[in-house]
Amino acid sequence: MTTPSLLHHFEAPDDYLGSFGWLCGYSADCNFLDQAAERFTRQTTAQRAHQGQLALAVMLDPAHAAIALTDAPGVAHLIFKAEQKKPFALLHAKVAVLGFRHEKEPDRWLVRLIVSTGNWTVQTVTESLDLVSCIECSSEDVQQQPAWLGQNCTDISAAWQMLEWLSGYFDTRILHAKSSHQPASLTAQSMQWLNGWLSTVAAHNTPNASPRYFDNRKQSLLKQLVPLIKQHASDVKRNYLGMGSGFFEGVNGHGQLPSVLSEITTTLQDAGLLTGRPKKIDVFVNPAACQAVAEGLSAMQAAGYRVCAAVQNVEMFGSVRRSLHAKFIFSTNTREDSARCSSAWVYLGSGNLTGPGFANPMSTAGGNLEAGMLLSPEGLYWSAEGDVSTTRIITNLLPVGRDPEELAVEQCSAGEPMPEHDDGPLAAPLAWLNWQVTEEGSSLRAPEQTEVPVTLLDSNGAACASSQPGVWPWLGEPPRVVTIQWSIAGQVHSAALPVLDESGRLAATAMPELDLDEVWWQLANFPQSAVDEDKTLDELEESPGSMGQTGAAAVADAGVAGYPIRRMMVLIEQIAAKQVDLHPLDWLAWCTRLEQSLLQVAKDPVINIFRAMRLNPLSPLREAAFLPVFAEQASSPEGANYRALLARIETSWDVANLCKFGEQQ
């Protein structure tokens, strides 16, 4: 049995690539986000750093330190807006909505909802016991209309409404960063696709049905619990209740039964969902840090509660003890003479079993923003029985057991209280800076005017001189990120900003110079990322879409005199053959890849031969036969964008004023 991982849920399905996704959470680290982005996009760190596009937008608690694009390429950590007042005590909900596109059929898509109890950190993967719920909807599902479609669509739509609402509190300008040459950024296009897919999902919601996903923006999770159980699980009394949490109420010195645990039990009993004298009420804890549970253990035992250490599945996780971080409630009917769990339901989510986490609605002072799922799995068993699948055994799904070892008072410790948090970073007056090269030299430029004066720091930490507001001369190569400073009420603030290069890439690594033999390999793999720089020529020749034997033989047969010209013409033919069959949804990304790749080959000696012949080698690419139907006309947006990029490449190659093929010289 393999160890489950939160990272697994970011993996693109077979034949799909991650397009764009939104995440919110209490905390994250760059290592987890980098691995998540790699699984999502199927691009390595180096590939994403070279591409310079955004694939994931992350909203974390406002106190969280900023995560730089250079530490997790392709992941934008959005910062809470300085002018906004927090509507919650902590941003604690852990939710993601991810969108995937099919590699070869761009009209096909898949949307995935992830609701997690764990943070987006490596610690969650390696040290914690956490839970996650994952549901999906695809374009095929919408066409085939399976029985579960409406409920999944309702759940995804509810979660997306929360994320969309939350995004209004964060600085999202970086998601729309584009160069002056681009009609739109690839990030904005991917966001638009995801919005379209989510609109389709919303159109297939089950009418008047309540989602299994719920959050506490208006009501506490506890207040919503009973209606959700009655809606999505059978309306019967259960005789078993298990509750687990990574954190409980803080100690108060009174040694009482924790109020939220008591309130959950009473609420379920009053609603007729739990028997008045349950067979067992188990509370699963981290023995070394269980707050008020440790202090009130005697009172809990007297009230019929069993306090137990979280059950760790050794077959999954090994013998190294993991700490319980999952927040869950599990209730079922159980019999001593049967392993079956009947009428089961499960809550899992971000909300700890505390006042701010579970009993209170979101508020500035007393309620975090929390989210969870109410599930009613069928066919569960406490242990293997007959031919029961391992996926239906409850100990493989939750950190619980039928007969867990009960903890004694001396085995429990309150642990340390939750640490206080300082104020987090402020959203900067600027979200990025543009790199620009002119006849006067290179500079970094603000994309917009700011009311607050901004100072740019050079690589040594000194203030850069500025000849005009928002323009700073910069010597040397373009930096990936730079630091700016600004003052508010006499207090100096700073932020690291990504630099957008002239190709529309954010915080990107330098584009290496290529020769004519290398550039096609960068184009052939589209829409996947450009191939790794350390890939051998033999590997490239065997890759799908490469020149192959036909193209190589044509070059070899061209003869010594015609060889350079033939090399160029084979490249032009390959570009034409590739782009003529492209889908309109891929056109902007193709144009971006084509321009970047051809700019990288501008210094190839073969181009000098064409200059000497007074011929423009790119001119055939304007012919209708070399273009997809939707880009044939220069008056169309696709055609205009394509011809504009060709003009820029021709200028870079210094061939713009040379003769077209077939013209008299």
Summarised one tens digit per residue, pLDDT across range 344-390 is 999 999 999 999 999 999 999 889 999 999 999 999 999 887 778 88
Question: What are the backbone dihedrals phi and psi of residue 151, each rounded to the nearest 5 degrees, phi first?
Answer: -70, -45
Amino acid at 586: D
> Is residue 374 situated within a structural domain?
yes
Residue 276 pLDDT > 90: yes
The dihedral built from the CA positions of residue 234, 240, 246 and 252, taken in this order, carries a sign that is positive
Per-residue pLDDT at 555: 35
The residue from 452, 477, 510 where one domain ends is 510
Kindly report the backbone phi and psi dihedral angles of residue 626, in degrees, each rounded to the nearest multiple of 5, phi listed first.
-95, 10
Angle at the Cα of 445 (from 439 to 446), degrees rounded to 5?
A: 155
Q: Which of 255, 161, 264 is nearest to 217 (CA)?
A: 161
Q: Are 97 and 58 in contact (CB under 8 A)?
A: no
- The answer to whether position 233 is within a domain reads yes
Per-residue pLDDT, 447: 93
Q: Which residues of 563-592 are buried (b: 16+ CB within 10 A; e: fewer)?
A: ebbbbbbbbbebbeebbeebeeebbbbbbb
- Predicted confidence at residue 664, as pLDDT, reads 53
C-alpha 74/C-alpha 187 separation (Å) is 10
The DSSP output letter for 358 is I
Same domain for 520 and 625: yes
Q: Is the pLDDT of residue 223 over 70?
A: yes
Neighbouring-strand partners of residue 134: 114
Task: Give ∠ CA 462-465-469 in degrees, rounded to 5.
Answer: 125
Compute the average pLDDT of residues 137-149.
Answer: 95
Sheet strands side by side (includes 109-116): 75-78, 56-60, 16-25, 95-102, 109-116, 132-138
Task: Using the 3D structure, point to which of 173, 188, 208 is the last residue of a domain.
Answer: 208
Domain ends where: 183, 208, 233?
A: 208
Whether pLDDT at 295 is above 50: yes
pLDDT for residue 559 is more than 50: no
Based on the fold, state whether residues 103 and 183 are members of the same structural domain: yes
pLDDT for position 662? 64
Q: Is residue 458 assigned to a domain?
A: yes
The pLDDT value given to residue 254: 76
Q: What is the pLDDT of residue 387?
A: 79
Does 416 reside within a domain? no
Residues 447, 393, single domain; the answer is no
Local structure of 58: helix, strand or coil = strand
Query: Does residue 567 fall inside a structural domain?
Result: yes
- As given in the structure block, the two tokens for residue 399 are 């950190």
Range of the domain at 437: 428-510
pLDDT band with cut points at 50, 70 and 90 for residue 153:
very high
258 and 352 co-located in one domain: yes
Model confidence at 615, pLDDT cuts 50, 70, 90, reads confident
The distance between the two most distant Cα atoms of the chain, rounded to a whole number of Å, is 101
What pLDDT score was predicted for residue 552? 36
User: 375: helix, coil or strand?
Assistant: strand
Structure confidence at residue 2 (pLDDT): 60
Q: What per-residue confidence (pLDDT) applies to 542?
A: 41
Is the distance from CB of 216 to CB of 361 less than 8 angstroms? yes
Three-point CA angle 138, 143, 146, nearest 5°: 80
- Considering the domain architecture, whether residues 156 and 239 belong to the same structural domain is answered as no
Predicted confidence band at 556 (pLDDT cuts at 50, 70, 90)?
very low
C-alpha 507/C-alpha 386 separation (Å) is 57
Average pLDDT for the chain = 89
Q: Write out pLDDT tens, residues 534-549.
A: 443 244 334 333 333 3
In a domain, 48, yes or no: yes
Q: Specify whether 17 is located in the same domain as 147.
A: yes
Of the pLDDT bands very low, low, confident and very high (cuts 50, 70, 90), residue 33 is: very high
What are φ and ψ of residue 190, in 5° steps?
-65, -40
How far are the Cα atoms of 30, 221, 541, 542, 550 from residue 546, in angstroms, in the given order? Answer: 35, 55, 6, 7, 10
664 belongs to a structural domain: no
558/627 same-domain check: yes
- Residues 41, 153: one domain? yes
| Residues 337 and 245 occupy one common structural domain | yes
For residues 308 and 403, give the distance between their C-alpha atoms in angstroms, rounded to a whole number: 10
Report pLDDT for 161: 98
The length of the chain, given as a count of residues: 665
CA distance 401 to 388: 17
In a domain, 30, yes or no: yes
Contact 382, 279 (CB under 8 A): no
State the virtual CA torsion across 586, 591, 596, 602 in degrees, nearest 10: 140
98, β-bridge pairs: 21, 112
The CATH code of the domain that includes 185 is 3.30.870
What is the arithmetic mean of pLDDT over 93-108? 94
Is residue 581 within 8 A of residue 628, CB to CB? The reply is yes
Same domain, 520 and 501: no
Which of 430-434, 518-522, 617-621 shows the lowest per-residue confidence on average (mean pLDDT)? 518-522
Closest CA to 166 of 285, 278, 80: 80
The per-residue pLDDT for 431 is 96
Q: Which of 167-181, 264-278, 288-302, 596-610 has the lowest mean pLDDT?
A: 596-610
Q: How far apart are CA 286 and CA 293, in angstroms?
A: 10
In this structure, are residues 102 and 585 in contact, taking their beta carbons and an 8 Å threshold?
no
Query: CA 292, CA 296: separation in Å to the nearest integer?
Result: 6
For residue 115, how many other CB atoms are within 10 A of its CB?
26
Q: How far apart are CA 34 and CA 158, in angstroms?
A: 27
Pairwise CA distance, residues 546 & 539, whole Å:
10
* 303: pLDDT strictly greater than 70: yes
> Residue 532: what pLDDT?
55
Domain match, 521 and 505 both: no
Of residues 138 and 1, more confidently modeled: 138
* 447-466: pLDDT as tens digits: 999 989 999 999 889 999 88
Same domain, 490 and 528: no
In the chain, the number of structural domains is 4
Confidence of residue 236 (pLDDT cuts 50, 70, 90): very high
- H-state helical runs in 54-180: 122-126, 139-144, 149-167
3-state secondary structure of 548: helix
| % of the chain beyond a pLDDT of 70 | 93
Q: How many CB atoms lie within 10 A of CB 537?
A: 11
pLDDT digits (tens, 9 = 90+) for 161-215: 999 999 999 999 999 999 888 888 889 999 999 999 999 999 999 888 899 999 9
What does the alpha-carbon distance between residue 526 and residue 645 come to, in Å, rounded to a whole number? 18
pLDDT in tens, 461-474: 999 988 888 999 99
Q: Would you state the pLDDT for residue 114?
A: 98
DSSP state of 219: S
Q: What pLDDT does residue 102 have?
A: 93
Peptide bond into 527 cis (omega under 30): yes
